[in-house]
Amino acid sequence: MRFRDRIAQFMYRRNGYDAYSLFLLGVSVVLMLLTRLLIWVPVLPAVLQVGSWAALIYCIWRILSKNTYKRQQENARYYELQQAFFRWFRTLKERWQQRKEYKFFRCPSCHVLLRVPRGKGKLQLTCRKCGNRFERRS
Ligand SMILES: [Zn+2]
């Protein structure tokens, strides 16, 4: 039997690598690099190294796991969090780009983000989500 076939047979019904495993591998590598960069700091490198190994071992364990249903659920959850992070980052970027023309406020009751033009003095704002009314200086 060829080596490749043996690997294929070994990996049969196992999870294999997915986006979450790749992310864990990335975390492991970054922590490993930080361990080397921060070698002069007391205690921290040891903690980072333990974290790096933990991420790597968890990554390999996930790849070899035969409980594919659970691993796929974890991967789906990872995708959700990744999307939420990208959304948050995009909003931050848009706020930064529009900072000269608009001012941003959070609704005190539902925390939704509101955008108002700058330089209009004191404004009575109405939240478009919950209808809460409050005053802010633009
Ligand atoms: Zn609101």
Cα distance between residue 104 and residue 2, in whole Å: 62
From the CA of 99, how far away is ligand 1's center (Å)? Answer: 21
- Residue 87 pLDDT: 95
- Residue 131 pLDDT: 94
The residues, ordered by sequence, that sit 6+ positions from 137 with a Cβ below 8 Å of its Cβ are: 121, 122, 123
- Residue 1 pLDDT: 77
114 φ, ψ (degrees, to nearest 5): -115, 145
- Residue 136 pLDDT: 94
From the CA of 113, how far away is ligand 1's center (Å)? Answer: 8
Per the confidence metrics, is the pTM higher than 0.85?
no
From the CA of 109, how far away is ligand 1's center (Å)? Answer: 5
- Residue 5 pLDDT: 94
Q: Which residues have their alpha-adjacent CB atom under 5 A from ion ligand 1?
A: 107, 110, 112, 127, 129-130, 132
**Sites in the chain below the pLDDT cut of 50:** none
User: Among all chains, which residue has been given the structure tokens 């364990």?
Assistant: 61
User: Among all chains, which residue has been given the structure tokens 């900072």?
Assistant: 99
